[in-house]
Amino acid sequence: MGTVAVHGLRKSFGKVQALDGVTLDVPDGSFFVVLGPSGAGKTTTLRAIAGLEKLDAGSVHLDGRDATADTPAARDLAMVFQSYALYPRRTAYENIASPLRARRCSSSEIAAAVEQMSSLLHIERLLQRRPAQMSGGEMQRVALARALVRRPRAFLMDEPLTNLDLKLRVEMRTELTRIHRSLGGTFVYVTNDQVEALSMADRVAVLKEGKVQQVGTPAEVYERPANQWVAGFVGSPAISLLACRAEGDRLVGAEGWTLPRPRWTTAENGRPLLLGLRAEDLSVERRGDTSLPGELYGLEPLGDRTVVDVQVGTEMLKVKARPTFTGTPGERLHVTVDLDRAHLFDAGTGLALSESGR
Amino acid sequence: MAVSVDEAVSAGPGRDHTPSRRRRGGRGRSVLEVALLTVLAVVMLFPVLWMIETSIKENRDVYAIPAKFFDFKVTLDHFKDVFAGSGGGRSALSVSFLNSVVVAGVSTALATVLGVPAAWAYSRFSVKAKKDQLFFILSTRFMPPVVVVIPIFLMYRQLGLIDNKLGLILIYTAFNVPFTIWMMKGFVDEVPAEYEDAAMLDGYTRLQAFWKFTLPLLLPGIAATAVFALIFSWNEFVFAIFLTSSDSVRTAPPAIAGLIGGTTIDWGLVAAASVVFALPVLVFAYLVRKHLVAGVTLGAVRR
Ligand SMILES: Nc1ncnc2c1ncn2[C@@H]1O[C@H](COP(=O)(O)OP(=O)(O)OP(=O)(O)O)[C@@H](O)[C@H]1O
Ligand SMILES: [Mg+2]
């Protein structure tokens, strides 16, 4: 149905550089997630694709054709707005029908399409209500229905699940992936929730301060973060970062610990590095060759697991442990590191070291 | 404040205490308030009341000393004189009322048609030096009409717009457009631009999005603005008296004023004409009162 490609998007609002050279390539039929914290420029990116934002520089190509100067209507896209933007005076039915009315579909076509969408999104009983008479989650589903009722080139979705409660959000996540699979079509999906990004995406673009940090599959972004910031943003609990440097065949921590140097790194001796360790690649089980000495700082029982905070010198490690793990703060323990899964970043630039050997 | 010892030392928590005191104080104040408001209302409404009374008194009673407040004979002759000419047919006053309707109606409609889209544009688009432009637009209202009436008179004489309804319509429109733009910009600002964005993605053009989605939400604001513009044009006196002279063109305010100044003044007729003149504005404001309140409080009601 449609490819979306943006190149070198730049947009500033007064002093704020909202987009600072954003380039993205969304393949046809993919579920493409733009992930970033609040204020990263996600909404601005979507609005630029939709033609709602006058750009300072850059181009938007739809289906390989330059659409930078096209009107929003001519771009043939559908969008779910972060604020829903449901028409306040119209019923849910009329809201959902609006894209079809604008394109002069017959009323029997409209009725059929609205009915199909409302059963898909379980909003049949809302159809005669106005937005003011709906809950946030209900409005969100009506907004989704309004976008999905047509077969546009691509669907743009701006945090469509953010305002739902956790249970509904998890349900809708599966639902949306299912809809994507059954309807097909290109989805550009914006979120600040990394779980959503990792669980739904074919490809993820990580955005920060108007710059694309990394583009890749969810696994690539998680397993091979391009830089320290992506590593810290993606994954929960957040990755732990320890200052260190390479010395011969060992890594020497700023806090005095040493670990065997991972085989795959080519960092020269003495260069300041950051060792990134994810909670699931650490364990508190035994003392060994590849372990760090520390002190138990605190416990976060999460039901299915317990996150153990271990203080190593002045730095903090988050370690995933069995849900039955117990201990008292101040207790000395050792954290075993799976060095094959560790990450190394240049402490100066924050960029990941090349992992050619891995 | 007088608080009894019992009250002052009662062990009740402060939260219970305060409202009771406030209620007590509130009641005292509201009696005073009602009294003051009554006095104020009487003082302010007395001329209106007197106007209405005079309009339905016979001439004999109008000049009676001491003045008659209640025991006079009611007559509608003055109202008949307002509309019917002495030799049958239409009176000059009734023509001036018609002129007022035309001039105020058309100029308000024009100001709305020009001002609302302009307000929308100022609210939605980035315009160069927007603040300066808006200030300039507003500044045209800083001048009292008397200041510009002479230059306007000279210009109009060149253009043949003196003693011409079109001339009045144009000048009232010129005065109402800035007002409409300023007032409506506030209302447009209150309506999220995303409705239009959504409509454009649905497949509408920008103008269709404005027309179909934003404009209906602006109707209360437009009604409120139009009422104010209408009242301005309806009441306007300075331009009307300087720029018009013949009975067939004159609007009601100078026409009514023209009734005063002969050797004998028919106060009954003046009063009746004034009542007729005041009525439409009152009725119109009453009809759109819901919109007026909604318009004035739009910001508080939305969201
Ligand atoms: N219309 C605007 N006027 C001024 N600044 C704006 C405007 N829109 C966005 N910005 C600024 O641009 C930056 C990016 O905004 P954007 O809305 O794209 O962020 P976002 O990634 O969508 O954030 P969120 O997750 O909170 O929705 C922010 O710093 C924001 O303050
Ligand atoms: Mg946003």
How many other CB atoms are found less than 10 A from the CB of residue A222?
Answer: 19
| pLDDT value at residue B291 | 65
One-letter amino acid identity for B7? E
Q: Does the CB of B20 have a partner CB in chain A at under 8 Å?
A: no
Q: Is residue A353 part of a domain?
A: no
Residue nearest atom 18 of ligand 1, based on CA coordinates: A41
Q: What is the pTM of this model?
A: 0.82
Same domain, A243 and A138: no
Q: What angle do CA B112, B114, B119 make, to 5 degrees?
A: 85
Q: Could you say which architecture CATH assigns to the domain B89-297?
A: Orthogonal Bundle (1.10)
Helix H or strand E encompassing A223:
helix A218-223
CB of A307 within 8 A of CB of A321?
yes
CB contact under 8 Å between A98 and B192, yes or no, is no
Q: Is residue A78 part of a domain?
A: yes
| Ligand 1 lined by A18 (C-beta under 6 Å) | yes
- CATH number at A310 reads 2.40.50.140
Helix and strand numbers, DSSP H then E, in chain B:
16, 0
Same domain, A80 and A176: yes
CB contact under 8 Å between A71 and B200, yes or no, is yes
CA–centroid distance, residue A155 to ligand 1 (Å): 20
Residue B23 class from Cβ within 10 Å (0-12 exposed, 13-18 middle, 19+ buried)? exposed
Same domain, A206 and A283: no
How many other CB atoms are found less than 10 A from the CB of residue B35?
Answer: 10
- Tokens 């209408």 found at: B230
| pLDDT value at residue B299 | 43
Same domain, A186 and A330: no
CB of A80 within 8 A of CB of A147?
yes
CA distance A237 to A282: 12
Same domain, A211 and A246: no
As for how many domains chain A has, the answer is: 2
| pLDDT value at residue A19 | 96
Is B193 in a helix, a strand, or coil?
Answer: coil
Domain ranges of chain B: 14-47, 89-297
Name every chain B residue with its beta carbon within 8 A of the beta carbon of A98: 198-199, 202
> What six digits make up the tokens of A138?
């209900």
Burial track B63-94 (b if 16+ CB lie within 10 A, e otherwise): eeeeeeeeebeeeeebbebbeeeeeeeebebb
Q: How far is CA A316 from the centre of its chain?
A: 25
B292: nearest Cα among B205, B219, B236: B219
What is the full per-residue pLDDT of chain B (303 aa) written as tens digits? 333 333 333 343 444 444 444 444 455 668 888 999 999 999 998 988 889 888 888 887 877 777 777 777 888 888 888 888 777 678 888 899 999 999 999 999 999 999 999 999 999 998 889 899 999 988 888 888 888 899 999 999 999 999 999 999 999 999 999 999 999 999 999 899 999 999 999 999 999 999 999 999 999 889 889 988 998 999 999 999 999 988 889 999 999 888 887 777 888 889 999 999 998 888 877 877 776 666 555 444 333
A27: nearest Cα among A56, A54, A64, A58: A64
Low-confidence ranges of chain A (pLDDT < 70): 1, 286-289, 355-358
Angle between helical axes of B289-296 and B215-235 (0-180°, round to 10): 110
Burial track B111-124 (b if 16+ CB lie within 10 A, e otherwise): bbebbbbbbbebbb
ipTM above 0.90, yes or no: no
Q: Is residue A357 part of a domain?
A: no
- CATH number at A153 reads 3.40.50.300
- Beta strands at A203-208 and A211-216: parallel, antiparallel or unpaired: antiparallel
How many other CB atoms are found less than 10 A from the CB of residue A253?
Answer: 19
Among the candidates A226, A261, A291, a domain finishes at: A226
Same domain, A262 and A219: no
| pLDDT value at residue A355 | 63
Contacts of A83 (CB under 8 A, 6+ apart): B192, B194
> What six digits make up the tokens of B153?
């008179």
Residue nearest atom 7 of ligand 1, based on CA coordinates: A13
Is A9 in a helix, a strand, or coil?
Answer: strand
Q: Which structural domain range is residue A238 located in? A: 232-346
CA distance B105 to B233: 8
Same domain, A44 and A66: yes
Same domain, A195 and A53: yes
Mutate to test the interface with A, among B126, B202, B213, B218 (most CBs of A within 10 A): B202
Q: How many Å from the N-terminal Cα to the C-terminal Cα in chain A?
A: 37
B223: nearest Cα among B68, B76, B112, B62: B112
* Alpha carbon of A327: minimum distance to chain B alpha carbons (Å): 47
| pLDDT value at residue A286 | 58
| pLDDT value at residue B20 | 45
Q: Does the CB of A47 have a partner CB in chain B at under 8 Å?
A: yes
* B 181-210 near A (Cβ less than 8 A): 192, 194-195, 197-206, 208
For residue A292, how many C-alpha atoms fall within 13 Å in the half-sphere facing its CB? 33
- Chain A residue with Cα closest to B214: A87
How many other CB atoms are found less than 10 A from the CB of residue B95?
Answer: 18
A88: nearest Cα among B94, B177, B301, B142: B301
CA–centroid distance, residue A81 to ligand 1 (Å): 13
CA–centroid distance, residue A16 to ligand 1 (Å): 9
CA distance B70 to B80: 22
- Beta strands at A186-191 and A154-158: parallel, antiparallel or unpaired: parallel
Residue nearest atom 13 of ligand 1, based on CA coordinates: A18
| pLDDT value at residue A262 | 81
| pLDDT value at residue B9 | 37
Same domain, A334 and A190: no
CB of B182 within 8 A of CB of B266?
no
Name every chain B residue with its beta carbon within 8 A of the beta carbon of A81: 194, 197-198
Same domain, A189 and A245: no
CA–centroid distance, residue A185 to ligand 2 (Å): 22
Among the candidates A182, A206, A226, a domain finishes at: A226
Best of A10, A13, A163 for a ligand 1 pocket test (most atoms within 8 Å of beta carbon): A13
CA distance B286 to B97: 20
| Ligand 1 lined by A23 (C-beta under 6 Å) | no
* Alpha carbon of B60: minimum distance to chain A alpha carbons (Å): 59
CB of B102 within 8 A of CB of B168?
no
